[in-house]
Chain A
Amino acid sequence: MKRLMNLTPSKPLSIFLSLMPFVLILFVYWNASNVRLAENPNDKLLPSFSQISSAVDRLAFNEDKRTGKYIFWVDTQASLYRIGLGILISAASGLIIGLLTGLVPIARSNLSPVVTIISLIPPMAILPILFISFGLGELAKVMLIIIGTAPVIIRDMQSRVLQLPSEQLIKAQTLGASTWLVALRVVLPQILPSLISSMRLSLGAAWLFLIAAEAIAAQEGLGYRIFLVRRYMSMDVIFPYVIWITTLAFLMDFSLKRLSQLCFPWYHDIESGK
């Protein structure tokens, strides 16, 4: 018998093992829901699958009577717009500032301490300031995501630049490159894959800040809806919304990963070779 740490599951076994927890969770839920509903058919805590699907049907595939809109898709669109814009601005500023502070010592002395301090401010603590200064519109919510994620990305990018072997930077200079060209052709392409992985790691925080901001002040959005229907204990809406948010988060993570593999095959080859 081999050691446990040396046993690798076969492909079918591995699929079975990975699916089992999901099936188990669904089964436990289904059972508990049945038990509660048998006791009290009006119980709202653990709605049955049919109740959940009718709620989804009502929100996603039927017009809202009051507004004439498909609420589920309006919420999705609003939230994706906010998180997408927030993450993109964070990534862009992280790339530019991180590259600058990583490569140029003067910029590092100038900006690195302030970025470090800002990254330590708990973003939720300054949410009121954002609402006061940027109003209750889109800007405040996007700003919260940016303030929450950009400093981390900037610091990550800076450390990636600093990790590049100095030999490479010197080599580029002996080939006649200016600071600008070293940044553009040597540093930038090498930190882009790290930018994508940094974005992937920041997505969790971005969703957290998005939902927090929407819970406090919004007219639509996935987080807004969850906190709105909480008042009516509408678990039949909250559950599918949470699953949908998780699915969106997964899809964003997955597509970023694919994008990175597609654009930077050399990076992933080196990583997997380690």
Chain B
Amino acid sequence: MNFLSIENLYKSYGENLVLERLNLTVEQGEFVSMVGASGCGKSTFLNMLLGKEKQTKGKIVFEGKELTQEPDAERGIVFQKYSVFPHLTVLQNVMIADEFSHSPILGWTFGKSKKEIKQKAMSFIDAVGLSPAIKKYPHELSGGMQQRLAIAQALMKAPKILLLDEPFGALDPGIRADMHELILDIWQKNKLTIFMVTHDIQEGFKLGSRLWVFDKIRQDPQAPNAYGAQVTFDLSLTTENSKAAAKELLKEAS
């Protein structure tokens, strides 16, 4: 049984076909980078994995069952921005994840369970390097620190799948490199399966263990929306050799 399999998936908005005939399988522990031109449907695909959008046709099967059609704790997400709660401090932002499950009525925890959650939250805050800032509110943090916080938040639920929607797109190049180290480290330590949408193909190469290029195979100049995008290249990046081969292949194609 595959960890995640996508079977003949279509997505259209009215007449506008965005994605077509997607047939892909993913094993646990892969890091899939998804690249492609703007509007090619890679974000739409991520939203379907998230459960925010429903496919028009086809199936996404996750651990033998069809994927739930709404966001849940099995799939963590880090957006480009607005991922953290502006009214909570760093510590509260991370603690809230477990407070939700420990206190389904009040939403707040007290005493011993609060202490335990705090301890767990601190370990993840530590892992993303935000320990000195636990009492700060998100607006007092830089863009990179906010993304670190969003990652720590997502890790609290130990999601089986972590979805990253252009998580580093708004960051400065130097900070972006630090974040790359961080996410690779977290990916390996937590044995996550990651899907990342990115504009930056270099980033895709650097981070992913697998690269998907979204593009339209069929074009009808009279009806540009008649055909949707597919995954035109599905490249393994697990070894240096395969990385070089993948780069070579993409160079030829373009």
**Which A residues contact B (CB, under 8 angstroms)?**
165, 167-168, 170-178, 180-181, 184-186, 189-190, 264, 266-267, 269-270, 273
Main DSSP-derived SS at the A contact region: helix
Q: Is the CB of B153 within 8 A of A171?
A: yes
Q: Which residues of A contact B58 (CB under 8 A)?
A: none
The interface size of chain B toward A, counting residues with CB under 8 Å, comes to 36
- Of B50, B52, B81, B107, the most chain A CB neighbours within 10 A belong to B107
Chain A residue, CB-CB nearest to B89: A266
CB B242 to nearest CB in A, in angstroms, measures 32
A171-B79, A171-B84, A175-B153 given; name 8 further pairs at CB < 8 Å. Answer: A171-B77, A172-B100, A173-B70, A174-B73, A174-B75, A174-B76, A176-B73, A189-B87
Docked pose: A176 CA to B139 CA in angstroms: 24
Cβ of B221 under 8 Å from chain A:
no
Hey, what's the 0/1 contact readout for B126-145 against A, CB within 8 Å counting as 1?
A: 00000000000101100000
Q: Is the CB of A174 within 8 A of B107?
A: no
Q: Is the CB of B100 within 8 A of A175?
A: yes
Q: Is the CB of A190 within 8 A of B87?
A: yes
Chain A residue, CB-CB nearest to B74: A174
Q: Is the CB of B79 within 8 A of A167?
A: yes
Cβ of B188 under 8 Å from chain A:
no
Main DSSP-derived SS at the B contact region: loop
Q: Which residues of A contact B101 (CB under 8 A)?
A: 176
Docked pose: A186 CA to B150 CA in angstroms: 15
Cβ of B3 under 8 Å from chain A:
no
Cβ of B71 under 8 Å from chain A:
yes
Q: Is the CB of A168 within 8 A of B104?
A: no
Cβ of B32 under 8 Å from chain A:
no
Closest 7 CB pairs of A and B: A165-B82, A176-B73, A173-B71, A167-B82, A175-B97, A185-B107, A266-B137
Cβ of B83 under 8 Å from chain A:
yes
Given A168-B85, A266-B86, A270-B139, decide whether A176 and B157 contact each other with a Cβ distance below 8 A: yes
Hey, what's the 0/1 contact readout for B69-112 against A, CB within 8 Å counting as 1?
A: 01111011101011111110000000011011100111110000
